[in-house]
Chains A and B, each alone.
Chain A
Amino acid sequence: MLVTRQLSSRELVDYYLARIEKYNPVLNAYVTVVGELAREKANSIDNAGITTSSPLLTGIPVAIKDSFLTHHIRTTAGSNVLRRYTGQYDSTVVRRLKEAGAIILGKTNLDEFSLGFTTETSIFGPSLNPWDINHLPGGSSGGSAAAVGSGLAPAAIGSEHYDSIRQPAAWCGVVGLKPTYGVVSRYGVIAMASSLECPGPIARSVKDAGIVLRQICGKDNRDANTVSSDNIKPFKGNKSEIKVGIPVRKVLADVDPEVMANFTKAVDVLKEMGLTIKVVELPSVERTSSIFEILYRVEVSSNLARYDGIRYGQETPEGKDVEEIYLESREKFGPLLKYQMMTDLRAVSSADFQMIYDEALKLRTYIKNNFDAIFKKVDVIASPTSPCLPYRKGFFSGGKYHGTEITDRYKPYVDLTAQLPALCGFPGISVPCGFSSGLPVGIQFFGPLFSENTLLEVASAYERETPWHKKLPENLS
């Protein structure tokens, strides 16, 4: 429509800005909106004209998680530590989106420094679920998922260490795609756990998510961990030959019955599509979170060490010495971040920690070997993205989480279906697979390294057979 001029980029931007103005005060999906910048950019695109040879996202508005640096736009990571920080350059993801012609609408809410899964740890307060504002959108990329789910952006950028794109996408009824580690550059993403960080798209459809991924992926000289997009394996063969693994019943026992009912129906659809379903045993590692926590905490603590109050937008009070500035600046970290640093065993004994770290990395090899064996039998593994429906507001308050019997099931399940694959760098995608009590449910597919095209094919085929992605929250239409 933009190419045929049935719609101008300015009209599209105005449409989303009007919705943001109307609904964001309630949903709190955006923490910064750059309306004037977006309109200026849209005008300039319209004046230049959009043709079939224009970059693929020319004139399309997008939202960006507020942990991605944006040149001359406030970038806070949802933290008091960076409340006044303005991006000094564009992250590679943002630069590539701009080069593809996309227009930034604003920055979306997240858990402080991406640590959390509700957005309730953000200094801006929680975003709310577009399907029911008494519930949360998930996190850490909850603002991005809420923005797309409520029609305040056609697509958004999120990032995840293990399920921070897919879980909020599932809770908001949209598509979330976590690429293979290294496929999308982390340059300019406010760092937490560097060996796990994966930026990726959140969109209304699998096709849109694939289009955005293709614009942001690929080797980046500014991130030595990136790989060429040529590594992404092409999808070959017939969809009906795809084998889908389903975790053994023991793993799914932690899933809420309402979620499980939707997942079971989704598996039936996959069978009807002609896909082969096989039950698979996920790697059995006692207390899997121990590996994750060891690797995660040391990386988080290292990355947070740079916030010393000198370079990142804090006042330097008169008469204070450097040590006091450090202490006062770092006092602004939220309780969960302080906890991560204070339980980092490296600070107790760095020599011993090297052995612990190596042991964790060996366990990573053990898990990877297990998955390699599973992926000889199946092409992808499907499971409920989240074992439960979106949490109610107030899950995190007073500096801690308030779990219930149901919500406490979340962690062991996610350890197996999200943390372990993430430790291996595997890609995954969540697509809507139904509703329960008026709230969305998602199914995720994850596969071996660089299997994005297979995942997109499977998810897209499933999406075509089901109506869930077409639904919009009635109160926001």
Chain B
Amino acid sequence: MKEIVNADFDIDHIKHIAKVYKLRLSQEDKVHLVAQLSKTKEYLRSFKKLHKRTSSLLPTYHVCGLYNSYRVDIVASSMDLSDVFLNAKNTKDGCFTIPGLFKEKVNE
């Protein structure tokens, strides 16, 4: 936590987060978000203040106390393919189609 609390956020941080979340931002947005991210950092400072109260506590991962709760492993019929592709504009032979990830041409 120390690293983030002391970090001075700049445009490069914003560019990095935008890349992670695949968001296209204007320069104006980026400048605005540097300030917002710095404000978020204040949350962490408030956490540090509360540390005395929480150091002896265990985290609450689930409010009802469920632990290692997995989906029941039972065989069920799959979704109909027509429903699977209901919203996909481009499909072929039971698959979603997308533009090629690699640019090389395949030698035939």
Contacts and interface: CB of A to CB of B under 8 A. Distances in A.
Contacts of B18: 342
11 contacts: A86-B87, A88-B84, A227-B66, A310-B88, A314-B89, A316-B89, A358-B59, A361-B61, A364-B59, A366-B50, A366-B53
Interface string B37-63: 100111110110111011101111111
Interface residues of B, number: 62
A241 interface: no
B90 interface: yes
Interface string A335-362: 0001101111101110011011011111
Given A181-B64, A348-B4, A313 B54 contact: no
B93 interface: no
A363 B7 CA distance: 23
B36 A342 contact: yes
Contact of A331 (B14, B24, B84): B24
A325 B83 CA distance: 23
Interface of B: 1-4, 7, 9, 13-14, 16-18, 20-25, 29, 33, 36-37, 40-44, 46-47, 49-51, 53-55, 57-64, 66, 69-72, 74, 79, 83-84, 86-90, 96-101
Contacts of B74: 221
Given A348-B16, A365-B58, 5 more contacts: A182-B66, A224-B71, A289-B43, A321-B99, A349-B3
B88 to A, nearest CB: 6
Contacts of B37: 342-343, 345, 348
A407 B3 CA distance: 36
A89 B83 CA distance: 8
B87 A313 contact: yes
A11 to B, nearest CB: 33
A342 B4 contact: no
Interface residues of A, number: 74
Contacts of A51: none
B63 A344 contact: no
A328 to B, nearest CB: 8
A86 B61 CA distance: 33
Q: Which of A349, A362, A425 has the most CB of B within 10 A?
A: A362
Contacts, number: 183
A209 to B, nearest CB: 22
Contacts of A85: 87
A242 interface: no
B13 A365 contact: no
Interface in A429-470: 449
Contacts of A286: 46, 49-50
A449 B60 CA distance: 14
A311 B88 contact: yes
A206 interface: no
Q: Which of A71, A304, A310, A314 has the most CB of B within 10 A?
A: A310
B40 A345 contact: yes
A141 to B, nearest CB: 21
A222 B4 contact: no
Contact of A359 (B7, B23, B41, B51): B51
Contact of B1 (A225, A312, A359): A359
Contact of A224 (B47, B70, B100): B70
A373 interface: no
Interface string A183-226: 00000000000010000000000000000000000000110110
Contact of B57 (A323, A343, A366): A366
Given A182-B66, A310-B88, A343-B36, A361 B1 contact: no
Contacts of B58: 362, 365
Interface string A254-293: 0000000000000000000000000000000111011001
A442 B50 CA distance: 33
B36 A325 contact: no
Contact of B99 (A225, A325, A353): A325
B66 A225 contact: yes
Contact of B21 (A293, A294, A305): A305
